[in-house]
Amino acid sequence: MTNYSDAGLVQLAEGVHAFIGAGGDSNAGAIQTPDGWIVLDAQQHVPLAEKFRAALEDTGLRSFLWLVLTHYHLDHTAGNSVFASDMPVLAHQITLEKFREVLGAGVSRGDSFTEFEKKVSFLFGPNITGLIPAGDPGWDWFRSRIGEPEYATYIAAPPTHTFADRFTFHLGRRSAVLEYLGPAHCDGDIVVHLPEDGIVFVGDLLFVGRFPWLGDGDIEGWISALGHVAGLDVRQVVPGHGKPVGLKEVGEFRDMLIALRDGVAGALQAGMSEDEAVERVRLANYENLPRYPEWMPWNVRNAYRSLNSA
Ligand SMILES: [Zn+2]
């Protein structure tokens, strides 16, 4: 079990912070304005969101203006209610569609959900029940992941404001550009680029020290989105999981996705079935990363499906 006390605030520039999850758990961020905080993601459950909120308030600024979501996944949005009771929630329009697809068309602030199927679909994608066969032992890991008491109830705070493609906060000497780069880690992923500071928050477009989840992603789109990030003039990149890094690590992560794509494309060219690809495609250089054993089969399965239909 993760020691949540290791999660904490890291200052990246004056008025710009990242909240780094313990042991590779999900990150969040916050930008200070004269009137209050713009919060970027809200942590993976209510107690951690409360810890994040308290850390921000401890700096002396106690008002909150906006909650921005990098994507819909539960481990970035289950703390929304801690922030969103009195503030607008801003996300790409596809993120709102995901809330509606999984939690119901009329999903509203404060609605709560306890069903395993809804929670696991919101954490890993609504296609997960089609990805992992019923009765497959792979389900055990997903059941235990969502089985901890902090995840018993998911309280929704869906986006109240949405945009397509691009949205900019103009904050005096600083701006924060929210940019949609197409389907990638899931769909609706955005990056938050602070050009004057040389900082970009990329959400789950980047995992540092952990093998990524691609089960509801688009492998080609993800590789291309990271190509865009690699072209930004930034010095600090805040991933969705793991410590902040630079563009070198973005390139290395992109190389891993390319290796995965090439492995699956090779399996398709060799005429392998999806099951054969799951059995045969290996990423020898990355097998020791946490989550590789649990997630690789489903990443291969999803990549096989997207490349096969391309
Ligand atoms: Zn995610």
What is the distance between the alpha carbons of residues 18 and 169, in angstroms, rounded to a whole number?
18
Q: Kindly give the distance from the C-alpha atom of residue 45 to the centroid of ligand 1, in angstroms, as a whole number.
A: 14
Question: Mean pLDDT for the chain?
Answer: 96
pLDDT band per the 50, 70, 90 thresholds, residue 1: very low
Q: Kindly give the distance from the C-alpha atom of residue 186 to the centroid of ligand 1, in angstroms, as a whole number.
A: 7
Q: What share of the chain has pLDDT > 90, as a percent? A: 96
Mean pLDDT of 52-81: 97
Predicted confidence at residue 225, as pLDDT, reads 98
Residue 26: DSSP 8-state: B
Q: Which sequence spans correspond to the domains of the chain?
A: 4-309
The amino acid occupying position 197 is D
Q: Kindly give the distance from the C-alpha atom of residue 291 to the centroid of ligand 1, in angstroms, as a whole number.
A: 13
Q: What is the CATH number of domain 4-309?
A: 3.60.15.10
The amino acid occupying position 154 is Y
Q: Kindly give the distance from the C-alpha atom of residue 214 to the centroid of ligand 1, in angstroms, as a whole number.
A: 9
Q: Kindly give the distance from the C-alpha atom of residue 271 to the centroid of ligand 1, in angstroms, as a whole number.
A: 31
Q: Kindly give the distance from the C-alpha atom of residue 241 to the centroid of ligand 1, in angstroms, as a whole number.
A: 9
Q: Kindly give the distance from the C-alpha atom of residue 70 to the centroid of ligand 1, in angstroms, as a whole number.
A: 9
pLDDT at 4 over 90: no
Q: Kindly give the distance from the C-alpha atom of residue 204 to the centroid of ligand 1, in angstroms, as a whole number.
A: 5
Q: Kindly give the distance from the C-alpha atom of residue 157 to the centroid of ligand 1, in angstroms, as a whole number.
A: 17
Q: Mention every residue, 6+ apart, whose C-beta is less than 8 A from residue 170.
A: none
Q: Dihedral through CA 239, CA 242, CA 247, CA 248, nearest 10?
A: -150
Predicted confidence at residue 3, as pLDDT, reads 57
CA distances from 41 to 29, 267, 302, 309 (A): 7, 37, 26, 32
What is the distance between the alpha carbons of residues 272 and 267, in angstroms, rounded to a whole number?
5
pLDDT digits (tens, 9 = 90+) for 172-223: 999 999 999 999 999 999 999 999 999 999 999 999 999 999 999 999 999 9
Bridge partners, 31 (sequence order): 16, 38
Q: Kindly give the distance from the C-alpha atom of residue 73 to the centroid of ligand 1, in angstroms, as a whole number.
A: 5
Q: Kindly give the distance from the C-alpha atom of residue 185 to the centroid of ligand 1, in angstroms, as a whole number.
A: 7
pLDDT digits (tens, 9 = 90+) for 124-183: 999 999 999 999 999 999 999 999 999 999 999 999 999 999 999 999 999 999 999 999
